[in-house]
Amino acid sequence: MYKIDETIIKLVKGDITKIEVDAIVNAANNTLLGGGGVDGAIHRRGGSEILEQCKKIGGCPTGEARITTAGKMPSKYVIHTVGPIYRGGKNREEELLYNAYYNSLLLAKEYNLKTIAFPSISTGAYGYPIDSASDIAIKAVLDFIEKESFIEKIAFVLFNDSDYRIYENKLNKLGLEGSC
């Protein structure tokens, strides 16, 4: 666990659909109609209510975020964001990935959500290298915390040991208060 001002940053290895927070973030595709990986797991576990709300929203551009109910999951909301498909890093991928994290946090602020959990956006089927993607994710979160102090807890929920260790090493190197 790490602390910056009044915000706790936590690493969790596990299933984001089982996390009890105000909002979990879905690494969605542009249609918001479900897919593989985290997106498919959220739609399956949350139930049809999420899909119905996503149909009404009508999609989401890459780097932006939308919000729905969490359906049958323990969180209250799902913030759907679309990260970029990695194409070698020369197609605004870094900017779009940063925006996916940052805009998710802005939406949490708009809805007065105090706790939020992120997966590692774009690092699965979209092929973003985890090493650079984690740098971007952490930078977006730290930049947001520097400007906004109302979010109490931000969790990065990583599916496997390797991804967890990458995030852990990067956060430890920052020398944050209370780092483990």
**CA 30, 32, 34, 39 torsion: positive or negative?**
positive
DSSP letters for 82-106: -PPPPSTT-SSHHHHHHHHHHHHHH
Q: Report phi then psi at 116, rounded to 5.
A: -145, 145
pLDDT at 176 (0 to 100):
67
Partners of 65 in beta bridges: 81
Confidence at residue 177, expressed as pLDDT on a 0 to 100 scale: 57
Whose tokens are 């001002």? That residue is: 5
Nearest to 100 by CA among 78, 87, 83: 83
Residue 43 domain-assigned?
Answer: yes
Its domain, for residue 142, covers: 2-173
Q: Is residue 60 part of a domain?
A: yes
The pLDDT of residue 178: 57
Element (H, E) at 119: none
CATH number of the domain at 89, please. 3.40.220.10
Question: Is 73 among the domain residues?
Answer: yes
pLDDT value of residue 180: 47
Three-class SS state of 179: coil
Residue 179 falls within a domain, yes or no?
no
The answer to the question of residue 61 being in a domain is: yes
Residue 178 maps to a domain: no
Tokens of 128: 């973003």
The tally of domains found in the chain comes to 1
Name the active-site residue from 39, 131, 161, 163.
39
Is 135 known to be catalytic?
Answer: no
User: What type of residue is 1?
Assistant: M
> Is 81 part of a structural domain of the chain?
yes
What's the confidence (pLDDT) of residue 4?
87
Give every residue of the chain whose pLDDT is below 70, as ranges. 176-180
| Residue 74: inside a domain | yes
Pairing of strands 65-69, 153-158: unpaired
pLDDT of residue 114: 97
48-75 in b/e burial notation, b at 16+ Cβ within 10 A?
eebbebbeeeebbebbbbbbbbbbebeb
- The reported pTM is 0.95
